[in-house]
Structure 1
Amino acid sequence: MHLAVPGPTSKGPTEKFTGDVYLNALHPGESPSRLVAAMIRFAPAARTHWHSHPLGQTLHCTDGKGLVATRDGKVIIMRAGDTVHTPPGEDHWHGATQNTLMCHLALVEHDDGHTATWFEPVSDHDYQVAHASTIPTNEQR
């Protein structure tokens, strides 16, 4: 057993994120484990680009409020304590709502070192459509 000290905070690269995003590595997936874990903080309206994971992804929101959306238009609002799983190969994005920061733990298993396939940025229009679709849900919870 050992204390796993988080890696230093780094700014999310612009080829994978829109807006201000900060990452801390938590677990690197050292053999025999395939688990890769990171803590990711999103400023309001910041988000990932479209991407998928060969073995799926689990997101656990620790603070704030965020969105997870798929190409087919499904949107889940995520609040502190919520966990969302995306299955292998599903194109999706996630990030903070317009007015609230969000922090989540991102958990993936690597497939021979490969954890994600990255695609294009989420357009402002697509972000607004996803955000607007959660307004009734926000009022219910």
Structure 2
Amino acid sequence: MKIKILITIFTITVIFSGCNSKIENKMSTTEIFPQGEPLPNEWFTGNAFLKSLVARDKNNDFSAGSVTFLPRARTNWHTHPKGQVLLVTEGSGIYQEEGKQAQKISKGDVINIPENIKHWHGASADSKMVHIAITNFKDDSQVTWLEAVSDEDYESANK
């Protein structure tokens, strides 16, 4: 009788551990959207990619895209004439407004960037970071690209 109980417990344990490993494998894939296309080096330092999600149309005066920054990748300084919202979906990174302390950002953070605020954002030195960027239009403009973030400023922001 004891042997039958032990065999039953062992069988149930094996079945449930197999189910758990399948669940864990599905959960370990954290990407919501594919990586997308490489972004231009004239506006980004390092390897950054965009997967367009929503284009401006008659119903939406904004666009949305999933932006993947590999470690150390970042935007140039820039502004948005009607603001932007970032929804961090994976990893950890940095957001900084001109004249303010850089702040660490990570999965689950929401960054509401007011219009015409000079800022930059990107991955930390040791982690990739993915965010969904929702960017409003003003007339036909969404962004004004400025100078690159210096390596010194980037390193300082990573401390």
Other-structure match for 1:16: 43
> C-alpha root-mean-square deviation of aligned residues, in Å?
1.5
**Residue 32 of structure 1 is aligned with which of 59, 65, 71?**
59
- The list of structure 1 runs, each at least 4 consecutive aligned residues, that deviate by more than 4 angstroms after superposition, is none
More strand by share: 1
- Tell me the TM-score normalised to structure 1 length: 0.85
- CA change 1:116–1:7 in 2 (3 A) is farther
Does 1:73 pair with 2:100? Answer: yes
Q: Which amino acid aligns with 1:29?
A: R
List gaps (5 residues or longer) in structure 1. 1-5, 133-141
More helix by share: 2
Query: Would you say the 8 A contact 1:24–1:39 is kept in 2?
Result: yes
- Tell me the TM-score normalised to structure 2 length: 0.76
List gaps (5 residues or longer) in structure 2. 1-32
Query: Aligned partners of 2:132 and 2:104: how far apart in 1?
Result: 15
* Larger-gyration structure (1/2): 2
Query: Aligned partners of 1:8 and 1:45: how far apart in 2?
Result: 16
The one of the two structures with greater contact order (alpha-carbon pairs below 8 A, sep at least 6) is 1
User: In the TM superposition, what are the counterparts of 1:1-141 in structure 2 within 5 Å?
Assistant: 9-132=36-159
- 1:126 is paired with a residue whose SS is helix
Query: Would you say the 8 A contact 2:35–2:49 is kept in 1?
Result: no
